[in-house]
A = this chain, B = another copy of it.
Protein backbone atom coordinates (compact mmCIF):
# COMPACT_ATOMS: atom_id res chain seq x y z
CA UNK A 1 0.00 0.00 0.00
CA UNK A 2 2.97 2.25 -0.62
CA UNK A 3 3.24 5.21 -2.95
CA UNK A 4 -0.26 6.61 -3.21
CA UNK A 5 1.13 10.10 -3.58
CA UNK A 6 3.18 8.97 -6.57
CA UNK A 7 0.12 7.37 -8.09
CA UNK A 8 -1.75 10.66 -7.88
CA UNK A 9 1.19 12.59 -9.29
CA UNK A 10 1.44 10.17 -12.20
CA UNK A 11 -2.29 10.40 -12.80
CA UNK A 12 -2.24 14.20 -12.97
CA UNK A 13 0.88 14.26 -15.13
CA UNK A 14 -0.72 11.74 -17.44
CA UNK A 15 -3.86 13.83 -17.72
CA UNK A 16 -1.80 16.93 -18.49
CA UNK A 17 0.32 15.21 -21.13
CA UNK A 18 -2.63 13.39 -22.58
CA UNK A 19 -4.37 16.69 -23.06
CA UNK A 20 -7.46 15.95 -20.97
CA UNK A 21 -6.25 18.53 -18.45
CA UNK A 22 -5.60 21.78 -20.26
CA UNK A 23 -3.65 24.76 -18.94
CA UNK A 24 -5.93 26.81 -16.75
CA UNK A 25 -8.09 23.75 -16.14
CA UNK A 26 -9.24 23.04 -12.63
CA UNK A 27 -7.96 19.96 -10.81
CA UNK A 28 -10.77 18.63 -8.67
CA UNK A 29 -9.32 17.38 -5.40
CA UNK A 30 -12.53 15.65 -4.39
CA UNK A 31 -12.69 13.86 -7.71
CA UNK A 32 -9.16 12.50 -7.33
CA UNK A 33 -9.95 11.36 -3.80
CA UNK A 34 -12.97 9.40 -4.94
CA UNK A 35 -11.38 8.10 -8.13
CA UNK A 36 -8.40 6.62 -6.29
CA UNK A 37 -10.09 5.83 -3.02
CA UNK A 38 -7.59 7.70 -0.88
CA UNK A 39 -7.79 10.43 1.73
CA UNK A 40 -6.92 14.09 1.30
CA UNK A 41 -3.30 13.78 2.36
CA UNK A 42 -1.83 11.90 -0.62
CA UNK A 43 -3.71 14.18 -2.99
CA UNK A 44 -2.53 17.20 -1.09
CA UNK A 45 1.07 15.99 -1.17
CA UNK A 46 0.85 15.35 -4.88
CA UNK A 47 -0.40 18.90 -5.38
CA UNK A 48 2.50 20.30 -3.37
CA UNK A 49 4.98 18.38 -5.49
CA UNK A 50 3.47 19.57 -8.73
CA UNK A 51 3.27 23.13 -7.49
CA UNK A 52 6.91 23.09 -6.45
CA UNK A 53 7.82 21.80 -9.89
CA UNK A 54 5.86 24.73 -11.31
CA UNK A 55 3.36 22.60 -13.19
CA UNK A 56 0.25 23.63 -11.30
CA UNK A 57 -0.79 26.60 -9.26
CA UNK A 58 -2.82 26.53 -6.08
CA UNK A 59 -5.04 29.55 -5.89
CA UNK A 60 -6.42 30.38 -2.45
CA UNK A 61 -10.03 29.11 -2.17
CA UNK A 62 -10.16 28.56 -5.91
CA UNK A 63 -8.62 25.13 -6.11
CA UNK A 64 -5.61 24.05 -8.12
CA UNK A 65 -5.27 24.82 -11.81
CA UNK A 66 -2.81 23.62 -14.41
CA UNK A 67 -0.13 26.25 -14.90
CA UNK A 68 -1.02 28.59 -17.71
CA UNK A 69 1.72 31.10 -18.36
CA UNK A 70 0.99 34.70 -19.13
CA UNK A 71 2.58 36.17 -22.24
CA UNK A 72 5.53 37.43 -20.21
CA UNK A 73 5.96 34.08 -18.47
CA UNK A 74 5.67 32.20 -21.72
CA UNK A 75 8.45 34.24 -23.32
CA UNK A 76 10.63 33.99 -20.24
CA UNK A 77 10.35 30.21 -20.07
CA UNK A 78 10.88 29.86 -23.79
CA UNK A 79 14.03 31.96 -23.61
CA UNK A 80 15.58 29.58 -21.10
CA UNK A 81 14.13 26.46 -22.67
CA UNK A 82 15.67 27.26 -26.05
CA UNK A 83 19.05 27.65 -24.39
CA UNK A 84 18.80 24.32 -22.62
CA UNK A 85 17.62 22.46 -25.70
CA UNK A 86 20.47 24.06 -27.59
CA UNK A 87 22.94 22.88 -24.99
CA UNK A 88 21.50 19.39 -25.20
CA UNK A 89 21.98 19.31 -28.97
CA UNK A 90 25.53 20.59 -28.62
CA UNK A 91 26.40 17.97 -26.02
CA UNK A 92 24.69 15.25 -28.04
CA UNK A 93 26.94 16.13 -30.97
CA UNK A 94 29.95 15.49 -28.78
CA UNK A 95 28.70 12.41 -26.95
CA UNK A 96 26.46 10.59 -29.39
CA UNK A 97 26.61 6.84 -28.90
CA UNK A 98 25.74 4.29 -31.56
CA UNK A 99 22.50 3.43 -29.79
CA UNK A 100 21.48 7.07 -29.51
CA UNK A 101 22.42 7.66 -33.13
CA UNK A 102 20.03 4.91 -34.17
CA UNK A 103 17.25 6.28 -31.96
CA UNK A 104 17.85 9.76 -33.35
CA UNK A 105 17.60 8.56 -36.93
CA UNK A 106 14.40 6.69 -36.12
CA UNK A 107 12.85 9.75 -34.48
CA UNK A 108 13.73 12.04 -37.36
CA UNK A 109 12.52 9.51 -39.91
CA UNK A 110 9.20 9.24 -38.10
CA UNK A 111 8.76 13.01 -38.27
CA UNK A 112 9.62 13.08 -41.96
CA UNK A 113 7.30 10.19 -42.61
CA UNK A 114 4.41 11.98 -40.95
CA UNK A 115 5.10 15.17 -42.91
CA UNK A 116 5.34 13.26 -46.19
CA UNK A 117 2.31 11.01 -45.75
CA UNK A 118 -0.07 13.15 -43.69
CA UNK A 119 1.08 16.70 -44.32
CA UNK A 120 -0.72 19.04 -41.91
CA UNK A 121 -3.18 16.38 -40.78
CA UNK A 122 -3.23 14.85 -37.28
CA UNK A 123 -1.19 17.54 -35.58
CA UNK A 124 -1.60 15.92 -32.18
CA UNK A 125 0.10 12.79 -33.42
CA UNK A 126 2.97 14.83 -34.84
CA UNK A 127 3.23 16.52 -31.47
CA UNK A 128 4.10 13.14 -29.98
CA UNK A 129 6.73 12.51 -32.66
CA UNK A 130 8.19 15.93 -31.99
CA UNK A 131 8.37 15.12 -28.28
CA UNK A 132 10.18 11.89 -29.11
CA UNK A 133 12.77 13.72 -31.19
CA UNK A 134 13.53 16.24 -28.48
CA UNK A 135 13.61 13.56 -25.81
CA UNK A 136 16.11 11.50 -27.80
CA UNK A 137 18.39 14.50 -28.24
CA UNK A 138 18.17 15.37 -24.54
CA UNK A 139 18.96 11.78 -23.60
CA UNK A 140 21.87 11.67 -26.01
CA UNK A 141 23.36 14.67 -24.21
CA UNK A 142 24.17 12.35 -21.32
CA UNK A 143 23.27 14.82 -18.59
CA UNK A 144 20.41 13.64 -16.37
CA UNK A 145 19.88 17.04 -14.79
CA UNK A 146 19.66 18.75 -18.13
CA UNK A 147 17.20 16.10 -19.25
CA UNK A 148 15.02 16.65 -16.19
CA UNK A 149 14.98 20.42 -16.60
CA UNK A 150 14.07 20.16 -20.25
CA UNK A 151 11.24 17.76 -19.42
CA UNK A 152 9.77 20.06 -16.79
CA UNK A 153 10.02 23.15 -18.96
CA UNK A 154 8.53 21.34 -21.92
CA UNK A 155 5.52 20.41 -19.82
CA UNK A 156 4.98 24.06 -18.93
CA UNK A 157 5.02 25.06 -22.58
CA UNK A 158 3.08 22.01 -23.72
CA UNK A 159 -0.18 23.65 -24.64
CA UNK A 160 1.60 26.08 -26.92
CA UNK A 161 3.64 23.39 -28.59
CA UNK A 162 0.49 21.44 -29.19
CA UNK A 163 -1.22 24.40 -30.79
CA UNK A 164 1.81 25.12 -32.92
CA UNK A 165 1.23 22.25 -35.31
CA UNK A 166 -2.23 23.40 -36.20
CA UNK A 167 -0.75 26.01 -38.51
CA UNK A 168 -0.41 25.13 -42.17
CA UNK A 169 3.12 24.12 -43.10
CA UNK A 170 4.30 23.95 -39.48
CA UNK A 171 4.75 20.19 -39.48
CA UNK A 172 6.80 20.15 -42.69
CA UNK A 173 9.04 22.94 -41.45
CA UNK A 174 9.52 21.19 -38.11
CA UNK A 175 10.48 17.90 -39.76
CA UNK A 176 13.01 19.66 -41.98
CA UNK A 177 14.52 21.38 -38.94
CA UNK A 178 14.80 18.04 -37.19
CA UNK A 179 16.63 16.51 -40.11
CA UNK A 180 19.07 19.41 -40.28
CA UNK A 181 19.74 19.33 -36.54
CA UNK A 182 20.22 15.56 -36.55
CA UNK A 183 22.68 15.85 -39.44
CA UNK A 184 24.74 18.37 -37.47
CA UNK A 185 24.69 16.16 -34.39
CA UNK A 186 25.76 13.07 -36.33
CA UNK A 187 28.49 15.14 -38.01
CA UNK A 188 29.71 16.12 -34.54
CA UNK A 189 29.36 19.79 -35.37
CA UNK A 190 28.55 20.72 -31.80
CA UNK A 191 28.34 24.48 -31.99
CA UNK A 192 26.25 24.51 -35.13
CA UNK A 193 23.92 21.89 -33.68
CA UNK A 194 23.50 23.98 -30.55
CA UNK A 195 22.68 27.11 -32.51
CA UNK A 196 20.31 25.30 -34.85
CA UNK A 197 18.39 23.69 -32.01
CA UNK A 198 18.12 26.96 -30.08
CA UNK A 199 16.74 28.64 -33.18
CA UNK A 200 14.35 25.76 -33.78
CA UNK A 201 12.93 25.96 -30.25
CA UNK A 202 12.86 29.72 -29.82
CA UNK A 203 10.58 30.31 -32.76
CA UNK A 204 10.08 33.86 -33.90
CA UNK A 205 7.82 36.30 -32.15
CA UNK A 206 5.28 36.29 -34.93
CA UNK A 207 4.68 32.60 -34.40
CA UNK A 208 4.55 33.13 -30.65
CA UNK A 209 1.90 35.78 -31.04
CA UNK A 210 -0.10 33.45 -33.27
CA UNK A 211 -0.07 30.81 -30.59
CA UNK A 212 -0.97 33.22 -27.83
CA UNK A 213 -3.88 34.44 -29.90
CA UNK A 214 -5.13 30.87 -30.14
CA UNK A 215 -4.52 29.95 -26.53
CA UNK A 216 -6.00 33.08 -25.02
Contacts and interface: CB of A to CB of B under 8 A. Distances in A.
A143 B48 contact: no
A145 B77 contact: yes
Contact of A45 (B45, B77, B87): B45
A80 B76 contact: no
A187 interface: no
Nearest to A82: B87
A216 to B, nearest CB: 21
Among A41, A48, A73, A144, chain B packs the most CB atoms within 10 A around the CB of A48
A154 interface: no
Contacts of A84: 80, 83
A52 interface: yes
A146 interface: yes
Q: How many identical chains are in the complex?
A: 2
Interface residues of A, number: 21
A64 to B, nearest CB: 15
A11 interface: no
A84 to B, nearest CB: 7
B76 A145 contact: yes
Interface of A: 41, 44-45, 48-49, 52-53, 73, 76-77, 79-80, 83-84, 87, 91, 143-146, 149
6 contacts: A45-B45, A45-B48, A76-B143, A76-B145, A80-B145, A83-B84
Pick the 10 closest A-B CB pairs, nearest first: A52-B52, A76-B143, A76-B145, A49-B52, A80-B146, A83-B87, A77-B145, A48-B48, A80-B145, A45-B48
Given A76-B146, A79-B143, A83-B87, 7 more contacts: A45-B45, A48-B48, A79-B87, A80-B145, A80-B146, A83-B83, A83-B84
